[in-house]
Amino acid sequence: MIKPSVCFAEMYRIKVLIWTRYLFHRGVWGRFMKKNVIFNIVIYLAVFLILLPLTVLILWGFSKRWPWPYVLPTEYSLRGVAYFLTGTGNSIKILLYSIGLSFVVTVITLVISVPAARALGLYEFKGKGFFKLFVLLPLIISPVAVGIGIQVFFIKIGLANTFLGVVVVHLIPCLPYGIRILTNVFEVLGESMEFQARTLGASKTQTFFYVTLPLISPGLISAAGLVFIVSFSQYFLTFIVGGGNVITLSMVMFPFIQSGDRMIASCYSIVFIVATLILLIVIEKRVKAYYTVENHFYI
């Protein structure tokens, strides 16, 4: 006696076989197995894996009760939002202050990075290799380890607990990114455009503003975005050197994350992410509008 399960399995197997051969003959099998489909699957998976935690985060920001087996929160509340807008935290002010601080850090970083990157990218000199590695040092050595020592020094020279002190200290983790990205940009750009401009009568300053700057602007945008994020997310450095005088969004957020008030912490996190995104978009739009053509760098 043939077992029903075996019978079904056989039928199923035969069905699959027939269908596969059918697809083969229709040429669909080949298309199905092509790279495009697999590529698409991977992309969708990646996006999903990014969006899923974000969605959870947003839900946490508004959920009052979300016990275990439930897929969605059982009770919603706007307590977090209310706290953010009106609470004792002065959160809006702190947000703007943080943006301002990171903005200043970004500008100073870029102003230092451009000439440094130009030297590293275009010139040949003794110790160039050493400098290229040296610039990356803050990425290897934790800024926190250095921060405490710097605070002692800052106390001596009066920069401790000041806005300026925090700006200076933020430069430490930010400069490597700025210099690294822009060095690559200069290496790719080369000197030939500048040569051409100079033979056409442009002075070195004119060459820089009318030719070099427009051509490195995509790199500037990338660097600016990354540096801003690095500065905006600094917690410990701001804490040590700011000493309570300089309060950024990360610092306000931290206690809530630590103590486990998920709703408020999530609200702050959402604000953090949204603020960063908006700023990145604004930077990109502004610079692109000024220099028109996109992808103009790639001749």
Among the listed ranges 172-180, 244-252, 261-269, 285-293, the one in contact with other proteins (CB under 8 A) is: 285-293
Choose among 200, 244, 249: nearest CA to 229: 249
**Size of interface with other proteins, in residues (CB under 8 A):** 23
Residue type, 232: F
Comparison of 229 and 287: residue with beta carbon closer to other proteins: 287
Among 2, 4, 129, 203, binds other proteins (CB under 8 A): 203
Among 99, 169, 197, 251, binds other proteins (CB under 8 A): 197
292 is a site residue for other proteins (CB under 8 A): yes
199 is a site residue for other proteins (CB under 8 A): yes
Q: Nearest distance from residue 212's CB to other proteins, in Å?
A: 11
Among 49, 133, 140, 299, binds other proteins (CB under 8 A): 299
128 is a site residue for other proteins (CB under 8 A): no
22 is a site residue for other proteins (CB under 8 A): no
Q: Nearest distance from residue 192's CB to other proteins, in Å?
A: 6
**Is residue 269 a contact partner of residue 253, using CB atoms and an 8 Å limit?**
yes
For residues 206-245, which are near other proteins according to CB under 8 A?
A: 206, 210-211, 214-215
Task: Build a one-symbol-per-residue string for 149-188: x at contacts with other proteins by CB under 8 A, - elsewhere.
Answer: ----------------------------------------
287 is a site residue for other proteins (CB under 8 A): no
Q: Nearest distance from residue 213's CB to other proteins, in Å?
A: 10
Among 47, 85, 137, 200, binds other proteins (CB under 8 A): 200
As given in the structure block, the two tokens for residue 142 are 């934790």
Comparison of 212 and 250: residue with beta carbon closer to other proteins: 212
What does the DSSP 8-state code read for residue 75? E
State the DSSP H helix or E strand holding residue 76, giving kind and residue range, or none if neither. Answer: strand 75-76
Among 201, 244, 258, 260, binds other proteins (CB under 8 A): 201
What's the CA gap between 111 and 107, in Å, rounded?
6
Helix axes 249-259, 262-291, angle to 10 degrees: 150
* Cα-based distances in Å from 188 to 86, 118, 176: 50, 11, 18
Residue with tokens 């306000």: 252
122 is a site residue for other proteins (CB under 8 A): no
* Cα-based distances in Å from 268 to 52, 56, 58, 252, 255: 18, 14, 10, 9, 11
What's the CA gap between 64 and 60, in Å, rounded?
8
As given in the structure block, the two tokens for residue 286 are 């502004």
What's the CA gap between 258 and 239, in Å, rounded?
15
Choose among 101, 64, 103: nearest CA to 81: 64
Among 58, 119, 193, 280, binds other proteins (CB under 8 A): 193
For residue 275, the tally of other CB atoms under 10 A from its CB is 17
What's the CA gap between 115 and 128, in Å, rounded?
14
Among the listed ranges 11-19, 92-100, 190-198, 238-246, the one in contact with other proteins (CB under 8 A) is: 190-198
Q: Nearest distance from residue 51's CB to other proteins, in Å?
A: 35
**Is residue 152 a contact partner of residue 165, using CB atoms and an 8 Å limit?**
no
Comparison of 31 and 296: residue with beta carbon closer to other proteins: 296
Interacting residues with other proteins (CB under 8 A) = 192-193, 195-204, 206, 210-211, 214-215, 291-293, 296-297, 299
